[in-house]
Amino acid sequence: MSCRVGLMGGTFDPVHIGHLRAAEEAVEMLGLDSLLFVLSSAPPHKPGEKIVAFEDRRRMLELALEGRPGFRLSDVERSLPGKSYTVNTLRLLHGENQGGAEFFFLLGMDAFFELDTWWRYRELFELAHMVVLRRPGHPDEAVGAFLKEKVSIHYTGGSGSCSFEHPQLLSVHLLHNTHFGVSSTQVRALAAAGKSIRYLVLPEVMNYIEKNNLYHFETVRGER
């Protein structure tokens, strides 16, 4: 039986409880053997946006994942030239995949509905099962409609089964995950304003942010 590996990509600027809880629930609901947090190096969808230095984001992820069996960090995108295109990352991970693992790529519903703006996005459905994290206000039927319009008319299912199947491409799953309503943008804004971020991030991450003064705009690392 092949290993089932979840993939959660992002800038994690910073990693917060919403990321971690979604990962935990995906492992349980999909029976994943492990989950890989893939740290983005140069995200193409955030041109010109201030992003904390890669090493700081990597260290916060390390702190968040310590002592959590099955959760692993990958900085594979750091070795890729240019922008961090997801399709290239998945190809690289497949190339390193000696055990024939199945990959399950987690993404929020908002991001899912923007997939058609991603570079070579249709190839993603050949490389990994898609796991869509539900968001309030988005009916499940909209996922099926998007798949048929933007990917392939041959995707079927979704009614009651929470998954869409295709004769050649990989499946798409809808995850009944807990929605916290917390975002990295919110955490950064609170930290920049000198307000508390307690309970939005793990204590280890909060201490690192405060110790290194990461999100005060005048001292954001990488902008000095």
CATH number of the domain at 82, please: 3.40.50.620
Each residue's pLDDT tens digit, 73-83:
999 888 777 77
Task: Report the alpha-carbon distance of residue 58 to residue 44 in Å, rounded.
Answer: 19
Read off the tokens for 141.
Answer: 């039927």
Note down the domain range covering 159. Answer: 4-180
pLDDT > 70: percent of the chain: 90
Is 72 part of any domain? yes
The DSSP symbol for 27 reads H
Read off the tokens for 115.
Answer: 């997939």
Is 126 part of any domain? yes
* Helix, coil or strand: residue 194: coil
Is 173 part of any domain? yes
Once rounded to an integer, what is the mean pLDDT over residues 124-151? 91
Is 166 part of any domain? yes
Number of structural domains in the chain: 1
CB atoms within 10 A of CB 119: 13
Q: Are strands 172-175 and 4-10 parallel, antiparallel or unpaired?
A: unpaired
pLDDT of residue 134: 85
Is 215 part of any domain? no
pLDDT at residue 48 is higher than 80: no
Q: Are strands 4-10 and 34-39 parallel, antiparallel or unpaired?
A: parallel
pLDDT at residue 181 is higher than 80: yes
pLDDT of residue 160: 65
pTM (2 d.p.): 0.90
Is 190 part of any domain? no
Each residue's pLDDT tens digit, 90-137:
998 988 876 688 999 999 998 999 999 999 999 999 999 999 998 777
Is 200 part of any domain? no
CA nearest to 132, candidates 90, 171, 87, 172: 172
Is 65 part of any domain? yes
